[in-house]
Amino acid sequence: MLIQFRFKNYKSFRDDTILDMSATKITEYSNHVVNVGDERLLPTAAIFGSNASGKSNVIEAFRYMMTYVLDSFAYVNDPHSKKTKIQKLKHTPFLFDSASKDAESSFEVYFIDTRGNGYKSYNYGFTINKDGIIEEWLNTKAKTAREYKTIFYRDRDNLDLSGLPAKSRELIQISLSNEALIVSLGAILKINKLKIVSDWFYNTNFTNFGNPYENMFLSSFIPDGFAEDKTVQDRVVAYFSTFDPSIIGFDVKVIKSEDEEPKRVDINTIHRMVNGGTAKIPLKEESDGTLKMFALYPALHDTLANGGVLFVDELNARLHPLLVRNFLITFLNPKSNPHHAQLIFTTHDSWQLSNNLLRRDEIWFTEKDDDGVSSLYSLADFVDEEGVKIRKDVNYAKNYLLGKYGAIPKLNNFDMFKEE
């Protein structure tokens, strides 16, 4: 489970920024808290804020880190391989400050392994600039330990691999470059201490319903085995039945080309007719909400099955508030979430701020100041003008829209036909 994500100097976030999934000492909804090892963690984090405040950049910062971890081994040409070099992931610092635009960016996570590794905690991170990796580190802590122990540390002048097996150190030293991360190389070289970290990132899923191109891709992406396996189709029907019982099945046809490779998959939804019998409707003609829920299914199923983290940008888009609530409850309920999966999402829907759903430490806000610098803060840490923290019995949604927590648009009336 993710304990904490920390980053600095990425897109609109110039300063040190922390998204903390640790439960605070507040008392509401104690059933949300997951006790893993010696950590008290939360399964959800909802990020609210106005347009262009930086909500999506929080998710994009984690996505950048994950992608670099999984791909950086391929950013350098291998003279013994015919594979083409993958273009290095672009470094995107805060550009509206003469100091930050040329400075490095940093990314760091704390997480706990919940999949049979003795509940070890891991601290991994790196700093990067346009020339490559500046620093990288990995520390671990056993469940019963008080302090983290160094597995490796590197910067431009030092390389400490003392926490790795001797044979692995030699392989890393031969393969290392400014562009590649040690963790990425370790995963390819099957060094278990490093592979655990890359595997954790691999179990992360992203869906961005604010990006029209990604949205279009997601809507055409089908679950693994869906085209061939009736059992998978039945699981999707059961998933749909939680919000749309009118869909009772699927009619799936795989259209093959001459070389027997699948060319495309035609999917029709099957509905029960009023006077008996059934009717078929092309999936692409279903409602936008139904298509979004279909697009969400692969990532949702994978995350719940593997206990990873699911990031969803604009979860509320084209979905009824009650459906979003049902989606959240899936993660909050240990029966439907036995592997402690986590959901981190952005939303504009103030209805989800209702204090009968989320804890104050599960509610986060992004705000951008007049210099274009974004900040991220939790409702549990927020203090009003008198220096008093927010009580659990107030109307969060009403106060948010009144601007008491910040993170809302600064609006002016406009008249497009007004003459100067």
Could you count the other beta carbons within 10 Å of the beta carbon of residue 330?
A: 18
The more confident residue out of 355 and 15 is 15
- Structure-block tokens of residue 199: 């595997």
For residue 250, pLDDT beyond 70: yes
Burial 345-378 (b: 16+ CB within 10 A, else e): bbbebbebbebebbbbbbbbbbbbeeeebbbbbb
For residue 76, pLDDT beyond 80: no
Confidence of residue 262 (pLDDT cuts 50, 70, 90): low
pLDDT of residue 81: 44
Average pLDDT over every residue of 212-221: 60
- Structure-block tokens of residue 122: 């891991």
Pick the range with the lowest mean pLDDT from 45-49, 52-56, 81-85, 185-189.
81-85
d(CA 353, CA 218): 27
For residue 34, pLDDT beyond 90: yes
pLDDT of residue 80: 43
Question: Running DSSP on this structure, what letter comes out for residue 391?
Answer: P
For residue 268, pLDDT beyond 50: yes
Average pLDDT over every residue of 192-198: 94
For residue 33, pLDDT beyond 50: yes
The contacts of residue 337 (CB under 8 Å, 6+ apart) are: 43, 304, 330, 331
d(CA 117, CA 101): 40
Average pLDDT over every residue of 286-294: 85
Residues 321-364: tens digit of each pLDDT: 888 888 999 999 999 999 999 999 999 888 888 768 899 999 99
Average pLDDT over every residue of 156-178: 92
pLDDT of residue 236: 92
Q: DSSP secondary structure string, 111-175?
A: EE--SSSTT-EEEEEEEEETTEEEEEEEEEE-TT-SS-EEEEEE-SS-EE-TTS-HHHHHHHHHH
The more confident residue out of 129 and 410 is 129
Q: Is the pTM of this model over 0.75?
A: yes
d(CA 193, CA 20): 24
Q: Closest Cα partner for 155 from 176, 175, 133?
A: 133
Residues 89-130: tens digit of each pLDDT: 788 999 999 999 999 999 999 999 887 667 899 999 999 999
For residue 215, pLDDT beyond 60: no
Helix (H, G, I), strand (E, B) or coil at 176: coil
d(CA 266, CA 284): 10
pLDDT of residue 384: 79
pLDDT of residue 82: 43
For residue 255, pLDDT beyond 90: no
Residues 36-65: tens digit of each pLDDT: 988 999 999 999 999 889 999 999 999 999
Average pLDDT over the chain reads 88
Q: Which of 211-225, 368-382, 398-412 has maximum average pLDDT?
A: 368-382
Q: Which of 53-62, 222-231, 269-278 has maximum average pLDDT?
A: 53-62
pLDDT of residue 183: 96
d(CA 27, CA 24): 9
Confidence of residue 77 (pLDDT cuts 50, 70, 90): low
For residue 154, pLDDT beyond 80: yes
pLDDT of residue 257: 67
- Structure-token match 């029966």, residue found: 335
